[in-house]
């Protein structure tokens, strides 16, 4: 009889121990999920605040400069206080801010498509010398690029390389890195290059600049959603996140070369198929 009671007590202790362990695990899991939810909520709030600011800023500029031109047109005569050069500058600023709005819409659309697995990739043979020359030419026209103090370049390889990829996506990811470099480089150079990996299984694109670099506390999260290098620079913090999604859709990856300390060097590894 005593043995039976002892066995029941031991079983009860074991059961209570298991229940306490499970409750503890559930509590830890709930705490972890709550912390993750709070972190995501903070990031989302920061993103919405940044996006709201970044949308209001170009819209206000567009409305303001357009109003100046409209007021002048409505009078039927030129405003002596507004020179032809100023009118040209107003028109340029309107276009620049419209382009900025379109870029933000494109980034949001790209994320929605890639996260929903609705992206269709069209692979073809891409000549890398042509691709790199083309993206440098386009990116050098960005209003973020300081032509007076910064050089943006790509030196064609003697032996061109054909890479099987989606050319539109390949162009997009390289332009993201070049535009990002232009945004944070006010003096020096921005250099695009590529090489075959040591194992011959991939092409590694590098975008090297002499800009401000990436703060040490942002290195681990720079490709996360809502992250941005510059706290006071205009942007939603989506472009590098988009670059990661594009790279992954192509079977590749993006990274930051932390051994380079004279600015930033971003790497995009594309598999050879």
pLDDT at 246 over 80: yes
126 Rama class: left (phi>0) / alpha (psi -120 to 50) / beta = beta
What is the pLDDT averaged over residues 219-238? 62
Instruction: Find the range with the poorest average confidence among 55-59, 123-127, 148-152.
Output: 55-59
What percentage of residues in the chain have a pLDDT greater than 70? Answer: 55
pLDDT at 223 over 80: yes
What is the pLDDT averaged over residues 92-106? 65
Q: Given CA atoms 211, 222, 238, 270 in this order, what sign does their dihedral have?
A: positive
Helix, strand, coil tally for the chain in percent (to 5): 55, 15, 30
Non-local CB neighbours of 171 within 8 Å, separated by 6+ positions: 131, 134, 135
What is the pLDDT averaged over residues 129-146? 85
**Following CA atoms 132, 235, 181, 261 in sequence, which dihedral angle do they give, to the nearest 10 degrees?**
-140
What's the CA gap between 228 and 47, in Å, rounded?
Answer: 10
What is the pLDDT averaged over residues 57-86? 63
pLDDT of residue 191: 97
pLDDT of residue 73: 58
pLDDT of residue 234: 46
pLDDT at 170 over 70: yes
Instruction: Find the range with the poorest average confidence among 28-42, 168-182, 184-198, 213-227.
Output: 28-42
What's the CA gap between 226 and 234, in Å, rounded?
Answer: 13
Strand partners, 146: none
What is the pLDDT averaged over residues 167-194? 92
Is the pTM higher than 0.75? The answer reads no
What percentage of residues in the chain have a pLDDT greater than 90? Answer: 32
pLDDT at 137 over 70: yes
Structure tokens at 206: 């590098």
């Amino acid at each position: 009889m005593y043995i039976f009671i002892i066995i029941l007590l031991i079983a009860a202790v074991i059961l209570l121990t298991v229940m306490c362990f499970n409750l503890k695990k559930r509590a830890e899991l709930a705490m972890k999920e709550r912390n993750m939810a709070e972190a995501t909520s903070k990031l989302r709030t920061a993103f919405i605040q940044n996006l709201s600011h970044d949308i209001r800023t170009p819209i206000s500029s567009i409305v303001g400069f357009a109003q100046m031109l409209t007021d002048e047109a409505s009078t039927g005569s030129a405003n002596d206080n507004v020179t032809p050069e100023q009118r040209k500058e107003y028109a340029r600023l309107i276009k620049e801010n419209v382009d900025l709005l379109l870029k933000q819409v494109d980034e949001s659309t790209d994320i929605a498509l890639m996260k929903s697995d609705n992206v269709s990739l069209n692979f073809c043979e891409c000549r890398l010398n042509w691709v790199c020359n083309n993206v440098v030419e386009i990116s050098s026209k960005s209003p973020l690029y300081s032509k007076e103090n910064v050089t943006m370049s790509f030196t064609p390889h003697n032996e061109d390389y054909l890479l099987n990829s989606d050319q539109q996506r390949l162009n997009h990811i390289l332009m993201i890195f070049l535009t990002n470099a232009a945004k944070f480089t006010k003096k020096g150079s921005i250099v695009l290059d590529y090489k075959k990996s040591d194992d011959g299984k991939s092409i590694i694109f590098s975008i090297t600049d002499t800009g401000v670099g990436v703060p040490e506390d942002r290195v681990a999260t720079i490709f996360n959603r809502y992250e941005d290098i510059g706290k006071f620079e205009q942007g939603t913090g989506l472009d590098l996140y988009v670059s990661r999604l594009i790279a992954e859709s192509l079977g590749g990856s993006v990274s930051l070369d932390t051994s380079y300390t004279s600015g930033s060097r971003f790497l995009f590894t594309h598999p050879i198929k």
